[in-house]
């Protein structure tokens, strides 16, 4: 039988434990652990959730990796065409971890109405385009269908629609300069709005999604020629490694660029979230640990006579220290249970109902506060809090070694 654990259980379940002087201090320590864990869970879930949501939005417009012509074109507009007759299209079999490859083309243009005009980037997409992300961005209407004959359906952003005072079902004329000779009469196309999306990124909401065959005709490209390819990965964390691997598997006249290098400022900004999360976790663990130290010292003071008796009976210092460490482990566990219940409950409710929103959504590119709950991370956090708090309690428990049995038995 584990004597130390037996004594600790008797101390915890004893009636005098609940009405002792240390009872309110113990409750405060448990509350500190619970509140600290709630704050840590919220910090991790919202920080990671915001980071994931922002990078998902950027990836929706450009994929994780872009394959384009190796030239000096630094604009978003597709200039020189690429044949779709590539070894990596439509499936990238030479590189593991590639989820999807799609062919697109982009052309700058102007939308003209009776009252005003706005610049836009027409993004031509085909039957291979993955509309998964835009299902969430869609705020009105439906997604266009380019599986049949060439049509004039377009998906436009809410930003452009509001500026142009257009809605679902409306039509508009657009003008595109002819490549190589801007002085010539521009191409004129009439499109009909079937859907309106909102991503939250003003720089990305300039895109108007059209049938890629329009751009092929305006640029006088062949049916098997596109502007560039967008590659989606199964695991975003492998972005750098897969980007280099894909670069090595493509022809020498093709270049690759991942979204981290394309939007490095955004990814540098969201990289700061990790530091903020670590700072909050550190502060909460220190606060919880200090409260547990206070509770442990009060418990030792309250049980000074018991410590003296155990020493008189021959118990070693480490054995007595273990009794109080077992007691502290129980208190920490109670705090963690309450913290997990409250924290995870709040996060699940926020994930489902999206009650809490940003006061300035334009600064965070999203209206509501997103959460990402990862069970392994939650388990690791609980284990880390338990171990760090116990390590912090080792030093104050050393005071037991300084207690004299004779003085302790007489202590009142």
Quick check: is 63 in a domain? no
Residues of the chain where predicted confidence (pLDDT) is lower than 70 = 1, 13-22, 72-74, 179-184, 406-412
Residues 79 and 140 in one domain: yes
Q: Please tell me whether residues 285 and 400 are part of one structural domain.
A: yes
With a CB cutoff of 8 Å and minimum separation 6, the contacts of 186 are: 175, 176, 177, 178
Identify whether 363 is part of a domain. yes
Task: Say what the pLDDT of residue 397 is.
Answer: 83
Task: Tell me which of 191, 224, 251 is where a domain ends.
Answer: 251
Residue 66 lies in a domain: no
Residue 65: inside a domain = no
Say yes or no: 21 and 107 in one domain. no
Let me know: does 408 contact 311? Beta carbons within 8 Å. Answer: yes
pLDDT of residue 232: 95
- Per the CB < 8 A criterion, the answer to whether 292 and 392 are in contact is yes
Q: How many helices (H) and strands (E) does the chain have?
A: 14, 12
Q: Are residues 380 and 276 in the same domain?
A: yes
Q: Which residues pair with 157 in a beta bridge?
A: 197
Helix axis angle, 23-62 to 264-302, nearest 10°: 170
pLDDT at 347: 93
Q: Given 223, 251, 279, which residue is the final one in a domain? A: 251
Shared-domain flag, residues 92 and 46: no
Task: Let me know whether 223 and 292 are in one domain.
Answer: no
The structure tokens listed for 326 are 């077992």
Expressed as residue numbers, the domain containing 46 is 3-57+267-410
Query: Does 257 map to a domain?
Result: no
- pTM as predicted: 0.83
Question: SS3 for 251-291, per residue?
Answer: CCCEEEEEHHHHCHHHHHHHHHHHHHHHHHHHHHHHHHHHH
Do residues 286 and 387 touch, judged by C-beta distance below 8 A?
no
CA distances from 87 to 96, 99, 124, 128 (A): 14, 15, 22, 16
364 & 280 share domain: yes
- Residue 261 domain flag: no
Residue 330 shares a structural domain with residue 359:
yes
In a domain, 99, yes or no: yes
Domain boundary among 251, 284, 299: 251
Residue 302 φ then ψ, to 5°? -70, -25
Residue 358 lies in a domain: yes
pLDDT for res 16: 53
Does 343 lie in the same domain as 206? no
Do 174 and 36 share a structural domain?
A: no
Count of domains forming the chain: 2
pLDDT digits (tens, 9 = 90+) for 79-121: 888 999 999 998 998 899 999 999 999 999 999 888 888 999 9
Q: Are residues 243 and 291 in the same domain?
A: no
The reply to whether 12 and 127 lie within a common domain is no
- Identify any residues that bridge with 171 across adjacent strands, giving them in sequence order: 192
pLDDT of residue 93: 87
SS3 for 250?
Answer: coil
In the prediction, which pLDDT does 101 show?
94
């Amino acid at each position: 039988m584990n004597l130390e654990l037996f004594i600790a259980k008797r101390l915890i379940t004893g009636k005098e434990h609940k009405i002792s002087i240390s009872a309110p201090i113990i409750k405060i320590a448990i509350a500190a652990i619970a509140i600290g864990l709630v704050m840590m869970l919220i910090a991790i879930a919202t920080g990671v959730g915001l980071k994931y949501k922002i990078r998902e939005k950027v990836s929706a417009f450009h994929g994780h990796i872009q394959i384009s012509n190796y030239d000096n074109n630094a604009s978003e507009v597709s200039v020189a065409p690429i044949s779709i007759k590539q070894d990596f299209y439509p499936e990238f079999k030479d590189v593991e971890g590639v989820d999807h490859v799609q062919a697109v083309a982009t052309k700058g243009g102007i939308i003209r109405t009776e009252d005003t005009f706005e610049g836009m980037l027409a993004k031509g997409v085909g039957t291979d385009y993955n509309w998964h992300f835009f299902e969430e961005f869609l705020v009105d209407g439906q997604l266009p269908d380019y599986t049949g004959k060439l049509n004039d359906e377009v998906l436009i952003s809410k930003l452009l629609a509001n500026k142009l005072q257009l809605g679902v079902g409306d039509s508009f004329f657009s003008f595109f300069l002819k490549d190589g000779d801007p002085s010539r009469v521009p191409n004129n196309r009439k499109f009909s709005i079937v859907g309106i999306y909102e991503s939250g990124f003003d720089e990305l909401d300039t895109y108007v999604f059209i049938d890629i065959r329009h751009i092929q005709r305006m640029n006088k490209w062949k049916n098997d020629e596109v502007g560039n390819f967008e590659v989606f990965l199964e695991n975003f964390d492998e972005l750098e490694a897969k980007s280099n691997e894909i670069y090595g598997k493509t022809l020498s006249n093709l270049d690759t660029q991942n979204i981290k290098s394309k939007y490095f400022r955004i990814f540098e900004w969201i990289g700061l979230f990790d530091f903020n999360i670590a700072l909050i976790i550190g502060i909460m663990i220190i606060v919880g640990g200090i409260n547990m130290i206070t509770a442990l010292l009060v418990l030792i003071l309250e049980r000074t006579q018991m410590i003296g008796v155990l020493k008189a009976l021959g118990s070693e210092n480490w054995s007595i220290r273990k009794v109080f460490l077992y007691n502290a482990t129980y208190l920490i566990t109670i705090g963690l249970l309450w913290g997990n219940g409250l924290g995870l409950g709040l996060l699940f409710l926020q994930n489902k109902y999206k009650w809490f929103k940003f006061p300035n959504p334009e600064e965070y590119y999203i209206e509501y506060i997103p959460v990402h709950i990862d069970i392994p991370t939650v388990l690791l956090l609980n284990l880390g809090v338990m171990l760090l708090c116990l390590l912090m309690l080792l030093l104050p428990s050393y005071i037991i070694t300084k207690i004299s049995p004779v003085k302790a038995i007489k202590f009142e």
